[in-house]
Structure 1
Amino acid sequence: MEGRVPSDPNPPDLILVSDLHLGRGRLSGTGRYHALETFFFDEDFLDFCQGLVAEAEQRRTPFRLIFNGDTFDLLRIEPAHVGPSAARRERRFGAPVTPEVAAEMMTSILAGHPAWVEAVALVLAAGHGVLFLPGNHDVELQWEPVQRPLREAVAEALRRRGAGVEEALGRLVFEPWFHHEPGRIWVEHGSQYDPECSFRYPLRAGQPALWDGPALERDMPLGNFFQRYLYNAFGAITFIVPSTRANSRYLRWLVWNRPGLLLRVLSGHGPFSLQLLRRVAMTAGGMSPQEEAHRAELERLAAGSGLGRTLHDIDALKHVPPNLAQAARAVVWPLARLVLLALTVGLGGFGLWFAAFGAITHLQAGLGFKTVLFLGMHLALMAVLLGGLAWRLLRAPAAPPRPLRRAAGHIARLLGVPIVTFGHIHEEVVAPLDTGAPGAATYFNTGTWISVFTHEPLLPRERIQFSFLRVRGHQAELLHWSPSRGRAVPAILFEEDEHAVEPGVRAA
């Protein structure tokens, strides 16, 4: 059954990873990486899979390796080649990622990451299963033409190992949305619960031909839009998780650390402004075929998984605000606040200076005393200005919103599963859920294997955690692979402020 595994008294172990963001990898000629590559850990991942297989042999327990979305990055990637007759926008940003373009990208990605392909083949050759779920950076993975290069690359690696190709490929599975084991676990990428990264019609496996350039543009989340049309221009700078708060922090970082790059990109990136205006003005009109295909796929999954109306209830949890409101919140409102703050400070400062200047001028005092007062006034105003600037830049950020945790709580209540796990946010999380029902439920987030820039403050830990979730029976543990130790160790997490936790989620 699609997306669902029947209850099993002795289910296989589950190993879940997410957000690897494989790009085009190494250039074959120079051995250097493409500028937008973020995954440099192919050999580490191969060692990780070798460790999983060795441990499974010792325990005589099969496992299933689940890639929970954004395994491949068809968004932060060098654009596919287009001919000279292509439109200027396509020459600058690449052709729309249709099934054909996405298949070419996938072929290139796999060619640039041969050790990663070997790791997947190793798991399959040892008799274990591999499951791929899509994310918002590889939503195209639902399409069979995009799956085909992966099957072919893994098949070739299996032949080199002398493994039975057909049997092994039978354990290589693609699901269009989720993995559900009743009474045990719910797995999905989670981007649909992020207002800035959710699609209106994410289920696209049914009729890939419907997704041409205009349709892809109309249903492109604003976070994806910024990545494609702006952030990619910054080149090899650390990957950013797009969000309103991360955008502001990223801009401040660029102003202080790379002002030349920022000015160069903005001055030469006029087409982005035009794209933004087009995107804000664009509505979801004219997408009736895509909506119908999404609903048909949803009905098929609801029937095939046995979830029925419950799956419709989960689908209704996704955040898809109107385009204009979304753009206003993410772009216009932060900019308006910045302008309003600048005007307030500027006009207020000028008013104070003018009032103080007038008062000092009319004082019946000597020139020396007035000079001292003028100097004191300017020093005081400068101190206030610098103090305000320091407060604005150094103040502790407010607790970030946690829509994925809220969604996890709803899903745990709807399905009665003790484990709900997402990816997407690139942050390792373990949070008990208050479901209002007997039995404990926990939300896990598997983080990422890459370096990333988010709205979160830097933590005193390793810059990168090769994190994964291991589920044995009905018990789950968030771990990270330690290459230096050659084994898994507990992930590094910090105690949370219970007052900062979203309603419906108990503090960890």
Structure 2
Amino acid sequence: MARNRAYHDRIAEVSRRSVEKSSNYIVFSDVHLGADLVQHVRPWTLKRLKQAARVDRDLCAMIDLYRAHADPEHPWRLVIAGDLVDFIGMSIAPEMGFEGELNDEEREYGLGSTEAQATAKMRAVAKRHGHVFEKLAGFVADGHAIALVRGNHDIDFHWASAQRAFIEALVDHRPELSDDVDARTQFEARVEFFPWFFYVEGLLYVEHGHQFDAMCSYHHLLAPVSPLDPRRICWSFSDLLLRQIVRPTPGVGSEGHESRGIADYVRFGVSLGIRGAAKLFYRYVSATLSALGRWRAYVGEKAAAIQREHERQLDALAGRMRIGAEKFRAIAALWPRPVTSGGLPVLRSMFIDRMLFLSAAATIVTVTGLLIPAAYWAPLSLGLLAMSAGYWVWSARARHRDVDPRVQMHLAASYSAKVLPSRYVVMGHTHEPVAERVADDVTYVNLGNWGVDDVDGPPGDEPPRTHLVLRWVGDRAEAAFLKWNPGEAPVPA
């Protein structure tokens, strides 16, 4: 953890901005660069890489458009609200040189989350999406700036080496910087990383939003390492499911699970045939056991030490931003407990709790039917039936709260604007664009998504490619929530 402190200190010094009208802002989210690098476990996706190329082409065109329409008095600050790079979703075959540090999970599902492996992933993304990095480098070279807010899919930007690899990928596209130390230093200073949120006092609050999602949140956002192995990120339950079930299973996408029930998954398993269903069941059990292992890992001194480091990082960040730490903690108090905080939430998310409850009830009814008179057995059975129905309804509602964060994010937007005064509270994560008033002079914006994290999703499944633009016109900041329109000017979302 200490290796990252100096780098984080430099980039966080400028994370609190006043409304000094120094910048105009472009804000978008969820590009998922690298979601196409999944061939280690999903080799059939090679046929669908044209979709990823289309995202690159449109993103580059948008960057060019705003470069051409820049205000010399208010250079652009491009704020990317998380998930620019899809470290979690990548399944890259382990490279030579990693043999000594790979665990069994990484050998099966591809490079994982150590600092070295995250850096290798970052370099692979920069190579695959070189045109995007070329355009971003030109954007920064023009005097504009980039602020990267960390999301759940790019939690690996926790590592300083992964951040460094991102910046080096930009510098590589500007050969004029190689012999000009001052110019390179200034260039690099315009690329910043934010572990939680970006804030312009009185105007703009931007975070990814995954901490309001119990399936995707991390126990210790500012120190997201595993108590089992601090060299690795402690993945959320959603991360485990994506790597161990979604990516290796044909026909399983990463979205829409909040609206699916047991019957939907059973039908899907049957459609895979006996062999496919057996593989899916193995992955299902394996991911559940991994999540339960993380729950147990968060009991003990190792987890307590990571919690203390998270609190230390929070206090340090608050000090650098010159904001009271109590305000940070007030926003953090809204975060739901991660699903991996308890055994029951894990089982509930996988429908196992309901299956166990019904199995227990059926066993009791059967056994008591053999042991007690029918006059006692009938009301006991009816009581157990009522209890089972009641538990089923409660469990379904609780699971829905865990897997669908939209209501929690909406409530958090209103509260966050009170804690840290902002006219616009902006998040991503859900892939559903939203712009609505949540309080007097406070607008909640969900940016939707620019790219997809499932390269072989349904045909025609195009992301909305929405983005927020804030420009200073005199003393007033004018906002526009826009949708990219390929070949034409952006249109209102």
Same fold (TM over 0.5): yes
1:139 aligns with 2:142: no
In structure 1, stretches of 5+ residues that fail to align are 348-396, 492-508
Does the Cα contact within 8 Å between 1:427 and 1:445 map onto a contact in 2?
A: yes
Does the Cα contact within 8 Å between 2:36 and 2:90 map onto a contact in 1?
A: no
Structure 1 residues 193 and 293: alpha-carbon distance in aligned structure 2, compared to 1, 3 A threshold: same
Does the Cα contact within 8 Å between 1:27 and 1:34 map onto a contact in 2?
A: no
- The residue number in structure 1 matching 2:235 is 220
Partner of 1:314: helix, strand, or coil?
A: helix
Structure 2 CA distance for aligned equivalents of residues 477 and 262 of structure 1: 48
Considering only CA atoms, is the larger Rg found in Structure 1 or Structure 2? 1
Superposed counterparts of 1:340-419, under 5 Å? 402-419=407-424
1:69 aligns with 2:72: no
1:446 aligns with 2:457: no
1:392-413, Cα deviation, whole Å (9 max, x unpaired) = xxxxx99965111111111012
Deviation of 1:33 (Å): 6.5
- The residue number in structure 2 matching 1:350 is none
1:48 aligns with 2:62: yes
Partner of 2:247: helix, strand, or coil?
A: helix
Deviation of 1:80 (Å): 4.9
Deviation of 1:337 (Å): 9.4
Deviation of 1:12 (Å): 1.6
Partner of 2:331: helix, strand, or coil?
A: helix
Structure 1 residues 249 and 71: alpha-carbon distance in aligned structure 2, compared to 1, 3 A threshold: farther
TM-score, length basis structure 1: 0.72
Match for residue 328 of structure 2 among 311, 315, 330? 311
Match for residue 266 of structure 1 among 265, 271, 280? 280
Does the Cα contact within 8 Å between 2:16 and 2:321 map onto a contact in 1?
A: yes
1:234-284, Cα deviation, whole Å (9 max, x unpaired) = 25x574147544576973784597668952641564644543553455434
Does the Cα contact within 8 Å between 1:283 and 1:323 map onto a contact in 2?
A: no
Structure 1 residues 259 and 338: alpha-carbon distance in aligned structure 2, compared to 1, 3 A threshold: farther
Superposed counterparts of 1:73-472, under 5 Å? 73-81=86-94, 83=99, 87-94=103-110, 96-159=112-175, 164-204=183-223, 214-215=229-230, 219-234=234-249, 237=251, 239-241=253-255, 244-245=258-259, 251=265, 254=268, 263=277, 265-266=279-280, 269=283, 271-272=286-287, 274-279=289-294, 281-285=296-300, 286-308=302-324, 309-321=326-338, 322-332=341-351, 335-336=354-355, 402-434=407-439, 439-451=440-452, 463-472=462-471
Structure 1 residues 170 and 35: alpha-carbon distance in aligned structure 2, compared to 1, 3 A threshold: farther
1:481 aligns with 2:479: no
Structure 2 CA distance for aligned equivalents of residues 261 and 127 of structure 1: 56
Partner of 1:7: helix, strand, or coil?
A: coil
Structure 2 CA distance for aligned equivalents of residues 452 and 64 of structure 1: 25
Structure 2 CA distance for aligned equivalents of residues 323 and 411 of structure 1: 27
With 163-172 and 102-111 compared, the bigger mean Cα shift is at 163-172
Does the Cα contact within 8 Å between 2:86 and 2:453 map onto a contact in 1?
A: no
Does the Cα contact within 8 Å between 1:197 and 1:224 map onto a contact in 2?
A: yes
- The residue number in structure 2 matching 1:379 is none
With 472-481 and 246-255 compared, the bigger mean Cα shift is at 246-255
Partner of 1:442: helix, strand, or coil?
A: strand
Structure 1 residues 440 and 193: alpha-carbon distance in aligned structure 2, compared to 1, 3 A threshold: same
Larger RCO, structure (CA 8 Å, separation 6 or more): 2
- The residue number in structure 2 matching 1:357 is none
1:97-121, Cα deviation, whole Å (9 max, x unpaired) = 1112111111111111101101211
Letter in 2 for 1:483: P
Letter in 2 for 1:488: P
Does the Cα contact within 8 Å between 1:25 and 1:109 map onto a contact in 2?
A: no
Structure 2 CA distance for aligned equivalents of residues 314 and 305 of structure 1: 15
Structure 1 CA distance for aligned equivalents of residues 328 and 290 of structure 2: 35
1:5 aligns with 2:17: yes
Deviation of 1:300 (Å): 0.9
Pairs aligned (count): 419
Partner of 1:233: helix, strand, or coil?
A: coil
Structure 1 CA distance for aligned equivalents of residues 121 and 264 of structure 2: 28
Structure 2 CA distance for aligned equivalents of residues 339 and 292 of structure 1: 41
1:16 aligns with 2:27: yes
In structure 2, stretches of 5+ residues that fail to align are 1-12, 367-399
Letter in 2 for 1:194: D
1:308-328, Cα deviation, whole Å (9 max, x unpaired) = 121221122222242323213
Structure 1 residues 147 and 316: alpha-carbon distance in aligned structure 2, compared to 1, 3 A threshold: same
RMSD between superposed Cα atoms in Å: 3.8
Structure 1 residues 289 and 259: alpha-carbon distance in aligned structure 2, compared to 1, 3 A threshold: same
Structure 2 CA distance for aligned equivalents of residues 160 and 250 of structure 1: 56
Structure 1 CA distance for aligned equivalents of residues 199 and 263 of structure 2: 37
TM-score, length basis structure 2: 0.74
Does the Cα contact within 8 Å between 2:15 and 2:194 map onto a contact in 1?
A: yes
Q: Percent identity?
A: 23
Letter in 2 for 1:226: L
Does the Cα contact within 8 Å between 2:35 and 2:453 map onto a contact in 1?
A: no
1:134-170, Cα deviation, whole Å (9 max, x unpaired) = 1111112132111111111100112279994333222
Deviation of 1:288 (Å): 2.3
Deviation of 1:329 (Å): 2.8
Does the Cα contact within 8 Å between 1:470 and 1:476 map onto a contact in 2?
A: yes
Partner of 2:87: helix, strand, or coil?
A: coil
1:450-493, Cα deviation, whole Å (9 max, x unpaired) = 3478xxxx9xx9732221111224333221111132x21112xx
- The residue number in structure 2 matching 1:387 is none
Does the Cα contact within 8 Å between 1:192 and 1:319 map onto a contact in 2?
A: yes
